Amino acid sequence: MESFGILGFPARHSLSPWLHGMFYRQTGFEGVYNQFEVPPESVGGVVGALRTLGIRGINVTMPYKQAIIGQLDALSPEADRIGAVNTVDMGPDGTATGYNTDYYGFLGQLAHADVQVGGRRFVVCGMSGAGKAVYNALVDSGAAEVLVASTSPQKGVPYESLRTVTGYDTIVNCTPLGMRPNTEASVVDAQVLRRFSTAVDIVYNPVDTLFLRTARDLGLKTVGGLPMLVFQGIKSFQIWTGREVPGEAADSIINKLQQRFL
């Protein structure tokens, strides 16, 4: 039976063990999934330990999405461009390859909500690791334009400038604003949101953020973050096992998570 896990500090809060358990049940795969909570002073030997223990692959969460890169043998093209890894595949020969499945998870989130990318103009709020994944996914998928807004002048335009932008279709929140426990925070207000037709949030807890509620009240199409969580996990599972999770199974898992977070 193959072994997998989640690397982080902390890691106990992660939904990945539950999520991958669902993938196992839906596909008949036999595997185990553990939580590897490793303090910063010990993380330097993680990949070597994976080889020694025969761990087939890991998901990587904060604060190690960049720190682990130096231990890897190879990076997928999207992980190389984004500069962050959230999935490591240990090949049969022990080669450690890093991937960024947030890239695929975001595209899955949009497809699940029937939001087209090609030819549309997007504003991405925030350029953390997740924001970089979203930005690259949109550019690679044929978006007509992707404007980045950030608190850092080196990363994008100031948020205040969004009050006067025109001609953009979709705004995406890639910041943690609105996440529990700060549920009454939003990256932008109604004056900005009314300039768009679609609002997408990658935050999934709570399911219905202030950002989404405000957008919905203005008549925008809204897309919550739970499908991104599920589809990025599905991509990790596919990388490790070569198995597909059927679409109806993904829908069932998303529905179960929605009930959990309501």
Q: Which residues are catalytic?
A: 65
Contact 100, 82 (CB under 8 A): yes
> Which of 24, 73, 51, 12 shows the shortest CA–CA distance to 236?
24
Q: Which amino acid is at 256?
A: K
* Cα angle: 167, vertex 173, 177; to 5 degrees: 140
DSSP class per residue in 6-74: EEESS-TT-SHHHHHHHHHHHHT--EEEEEEE--GGGGGGHHHHHHHHT--EEEE-TT-TTGGGGG-SE
For tokens 């761990």, the residue is 55
Phi, psi for residue 124 in degrees, rounded to 5:
-110, 125
Q: Is the dihedral of CA 125, 198, 165, 178 positive or negative?
A: negative
CA 118 to chain centroid, in Å, comes to 20
Pairing of strands 96-99, 87-90: antiparallel
Burial of 88 (0-12, 13-18, 19+ CB in 10 A): buried
- As a whole number of angstroms, the distance between CA 117 and CA 110 comes to 8
Nearby residues of 41 by Cβ (< 8 Å), 6 or more positions away = none
